A and B are shown apart, each in its own frame.
Chain A
Amino acid sequence: MKHKNYLIYEALCVIALFVFIIWICATHSGGTDKSVDEVAAPVLNVLTQDQMSKKTNADAAKAFGIDIDKTEGIVYYANDNVMDVTEMLIVKLNDPGDANELKTAIQNRVTDRENLYKNYAPEQYALLEDSVIKINGNIVFYCTAVNSDALYEAYKKAL
């Protein structure tokens, strides 16, 4: 029987796993000890608040299906004009394990709205296509806005 040596592959897998763990800890871990309001404050400076208004936690729960009990805090701004899709959401979760579920819920909302606006409001559809959804530990950031990149940069600095 021909003997094959698999040790090199096994060792490579273990090394790759360690590299992956180090990389993911460096790029995805952390979140923040700051409150959601502290994280949101510099983002709100960049936000064009004349176009968006502050919404309640209940509004966020309704729009995104957020279970408020699972959150430490929510900051949600949206446009009052139904023909305008711009909105910004920052949620601090009690358990980072819930972040993926929230991210999926946000993605679903974005997709639903894309389907809704695709044929009759192409500029709104373009904004939705450029939406930013990011998880940083126990914080989830989402925005659909003209200056979404600037908002995300402000958020990253605030963490």
Chain B
Amino acid sequence: MVFSSATFLIVFLPLTMALYYLLGVVVTKSMAVKNLILLVASLIFYAWGEPVYIILMLLSIFFNFIVGKDMEQAKKMNKKKKARSLFIFAIIFNIGVLGFFKYANLFISTFAGITGLGLRPLNLPLPVGISFYTFQIMSYIIDLYNGNIKAQKKLFVFALYVSLFPQLIAGPIVKYKDISDQFMNRKENWGSYSKGMNRFIIGLSKKLILANTLGSIYASVQASGTANMSVLTAWIGIICYTLQIYFDFSGYSDMAIGLGGVFGFEFCENFNYPYIAVSITDFWRRWHMSLSSWFRDYVYIPLGGNRCKVPRVIFNLMVVWLLTGFWHGAAWNYVLWGVYYGILLILEKYILDNLVKRIPKILRWLVTMICVMIGWVLFSAPSIGEAFSYIGVMFGRSAAFADSTGSFLLTTNFALLLIGLACALPVYSFLIGLLSPKKRSRVILALTPLLFVLCIIFMISETYNPFLYFRF
């Protein structure tokens, strides 16, 4: 089930909220009841798309819960070797599950391609959200091993942490240490509810109104093929995709954070206007922040971070970015995309640092955005070959600079592109910040229902409703 579907908006969410507030908040006032309602709702939410994979998630939950308790017991009894063995066992289990269900096909087909053996890919459907919940589980295991947290004593609370539906299938990746207190100690009030609903509707609007509309333009550009594509068409296409992926993913994060607020949770932020970044480093401090901080805390720093000699730091960075690419998908273009960012960040850190500081900010922004857009071509193309031919067209390897398709796309979508750009940059927060708090809340109160009505109209009238991060 996705947040932008009618089933979720009309049936699932109102029913869950009604049960949560009536039984949990008004009648019993019990945290256990509230958690139980959320757990049951989360399991139904997950089982909606592919019911069999709920077995895998429950197995993962039970295994990691038991290993966590065992590891804590071993540490308390000063059995360091046992604790270490359990830690390695849990990491192998989690990476093994993720590797098998997400990457088996890629490795089998690559191996078959290299060796010429007639191996057939397994073609298993990907368990939804497996990358997100596995990373959440691993944060629990690693922090527990490092002594940063205590093992969760209640299985159903741990199950709720892993399966909590607002952030289950597309993040943000919430670390256990950041949220553990909230399972037994959180307060829902009108403020958190209305703020949460407002954030949810903003996210829904980003997804349904902007991302889907921009996505359909990029889909039509991509479908036309690069053979006869003009430079203008290629740039319009990739600008649309750049905006689409931001509204798609940040919209989903907004919906997740908003829904968390509705049920009294405070999730970490995942985006901070990434398209105002003036360097690649700055971009990655603003884009998918929960994933970046996961890799920083659990891979980069344990490898030594930047407190080592330069070659080692370069190695650490490349490991992190190779894994970041791999995390995004089981295809070599994602790996290339990760390596591309690794190289850019290393160049920025060690070679271009002084030069970058001397360039005017607007130029730095422009160069950053061009690099980001090239990255999105690698990310979105069906194959590496097609990515390079698209990049070639963007930079002049084309029959024409502009053609009738490009001009048509530009004139018919100019307003949409401007609106998209304004929404991707902090224009709204700047304007709303100019108002007094009283006027601000009135404007928000007037805008939110309007946006919701617009979302419903778009949901009913539009059939193009892909979700880019659903498959991760």
Which residues of chain A have a CB within 8 Å of any CB of chain B? 1, 3-4, 6-7, 9-10, 13-14, 16-17, 20-21, 24-25, 28-31, 33, 61-65, 67-70, 94-101, 103-105, 107-109, 111-112, 115, 135-138
| Neighbouring A residues of B121 by C-beta, 8 Å | 31, 96, 137
| Most chain A beta-carbon neighbours within 10 Å: one of B2, B6, B49, B125 | B125
- With both chains docked as a complex, state the minimum distance between the C-beta of B207 and any C-beta of chain A, in angstroms: 13
Q: Could you list 26 A-B pairs, sorted by A, with CB under 8 Å?
A: A3-B73, A6-B69, A7-B70, A10-B63, A10-B89, A14-B63, A17-B97, A21-B100, A61-B464, A62-B463, A62-B464, A63-B463, A65-B466, A96-B126, A98-B471, A99-B126, A100-B126, A101-B467, A104-B2, A104-B5, A105-B466, A108-B5, A108-B6, A112-B460, A135-B50, A137-B123
Across the interface, B463 reaches (CB within 8 A) one of A17, A29, A64, A138, namely: A64
- Residues B123 and A31 in contact, CB atoms below 8 Å apart: yes
Complex Cα distance A30/B69, Å?
A: 38
B330 touches A97 (CB 8 A): yes
CA distance A31 to B7 in the complex (A): 28
**Residue numbers in B under 8 Å from A111 (CB-CB):** 5-7
Of the candidate stretches B54-62, B173-181, B292-300, B430-438, the one touching chain A is B54-62
A3–B74 alpha-carbon span in the complex (Å):
9
Find out whether the CB atom of A69 lies under 8 angstroms from the CB atom of B124.
no
Q: A115 to B460: give the CA distance in the assembly, Å.
A: 11
Considering the chains assembled together, what is the distance between the CA atoms of A115 and B156 in angstroms?
Answer: 35
B363 at the interface (CB under 8 A from A): no
Q: Of the candidates B1, B49, B59, B122, which one forms a contact with A13 in the assembled complex, judged by CB atoms under 8 Å apart?
A: B59
A3 touches B77 (CB 8 A): yes
Using CB atoms and an 8 Å cutoff, list the residues of chain B in contact with chain A. Answer: 1-2, 5-7, 48-50, 52, 55-56, 59, 62-63, 66-67, 69-70, 73, 76-77, 89, 93, 97, 100, 102, 105, 120-126, 128, 219, 222-223, 329-331, 382, 460, 463-467, 470-471
Contacts of A108 in B (CB 8 A): 5-7, 465
